[in-house]
């Protein structure tokens, strides 16, 4: 464990192994623990790194305007030995990884993106069934009942809106609820003021890229992933049947195999 300084934050960072740096960026309902299985496996032969963003996990942050991208660069400065890293990002972590590849291309060796956000992408549209779920989520948030909201987030992002509630059970669900409970109860830490739309710049990405998504995830997320895979030059797309937004939690072995194979091809 290291606590890496970036502005008024100390980013809780876990490092496993040595060699080419593989940096894991977590989703917005998780923290670095979503990558536990992958850190252990990749860290056996490479340097696997995962950190908690501001407002998540064990990171400590005083309130200030900040840049999530600058936080990632601080982690790279402290851990990557001056060499480009492979970035593995899920959801909002994927957005930060994509942003790094566009704005700091010399720092990125390759990208593996799982259901990535894309700044500047079109607003999502929902079918009536999913719209009903989103209304329930907004009602839970408005109620101030954080346990109710946490359960709703698990239903949307872990089970997936195209599957039944409670599809994923056991340790994976317990971990998701614990990670997101910390995030929901985090004290104020400021706003990311460095989000620049790049949906129309995806063709500028010049590193090997693999985009993966689950077929139980939101349809708009799946469509966005297919778009990224089609527009980034030479990118690969991989649908994961029977998975939703967080396959590293519900399908750890399959996700680890996907990442390990990609790293073996591109770590150098």
Q: What domains appear along the chain, each with residue ranges and CATH number?
A: 2-120+188-266 (3.40.50.1820), 128-184 (no CATH)
Write down the residue that tokens 């609820």 correspond to: 177
pLDDT of residue 137: 96
40 by Cβ neighbours in 10 Å (0-12 / 13-18 / 19+) ranks as middle
Weakly modelled stretches of the chain, pLDDT under 50: none
The tokens for 112 are 């593996």
Q: Which pLDDT tens digit goes with each residue over 134-166?
A: 999 999 999 999 999 999 999 999 999 999 999
What is the rounded CA–CA span in Å between residue 247 and residue 253?
9
Distance CA 33, CA 260 (A): 18
Residue with tokens 């992958």: 38
pTM above 0.75, yes or no: yes
What's the pLDDT score for residue 2?
96
pLDDT, position 268: 75
Please write the tens of the pLDDT for every residue from 102-131.
Answer: 999 999 999 999 999 999 999 999 999 999
Distances in Å between the alpha carbon of 13 and those of 4, 66, 138? 7, 18, 32
Q: How far is the C-alpha of 87 from the C-alpha of 79, rounded, in Å?
A: 13
pLDDT of residue 209: 98
Buried b (16+ CB within 10 A) or exposed e, 103-124: beeebbbbbbbbbbbbbebeee
């Amino acid at each position: 464990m290291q606590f890496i300084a970036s502005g008024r934050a100390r980013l809780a960072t876990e490092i496993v192994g040595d060699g080419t740096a593989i940096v894991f960026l977590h989703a917005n309902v998780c923290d670095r623990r979503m990558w536990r299985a992958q850190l252990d496996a990749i860290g056996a032969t490479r340097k696997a790194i995962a950190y908690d963003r501001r407002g998540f996990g064990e990171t400590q942050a005083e309130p200030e305007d900040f840049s999530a991208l600058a936080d990632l660069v601080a982690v790279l400065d402290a851990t990557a030995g001056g060499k480009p890293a492979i970035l593995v990002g899920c959801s909002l972590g994927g957005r930060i990884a994509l942003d790094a590849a566009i704005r700091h291309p010399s720092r990125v060796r390759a990208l593996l993106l799982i259901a990535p956000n894309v700044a500047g992408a079109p607003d999502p549209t929902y079918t009536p069934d999913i719209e009903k779920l989103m209304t329930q989520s907004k009602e839970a948030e408005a109620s101030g009942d954080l346990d109710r909201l946490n359960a709703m987030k698990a239903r949307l992002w872990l089970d997936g809106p195209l599957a039944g509630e409670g599809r994923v059970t056991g340790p994976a669900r317990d971990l998701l609820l614990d990670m997101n409970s910390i995030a929901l109860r985090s004290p104020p830490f400021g706003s990311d003021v460095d989000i620049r739309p790049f949906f129309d710049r995806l063709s500028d990405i010049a590193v090997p890229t693999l985009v993966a998504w689950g077929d139980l995830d939101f349809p708009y997320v799946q469509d966005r992933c297919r778009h990224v895979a089609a527009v980034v030059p030479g990118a690969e797309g991989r649908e994961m049947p029977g998975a939703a937004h967080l396959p590293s939690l519900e399908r750890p072995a399959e996700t680890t195999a996907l990442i390990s194979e990609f790293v073996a091809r591109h770590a150098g």
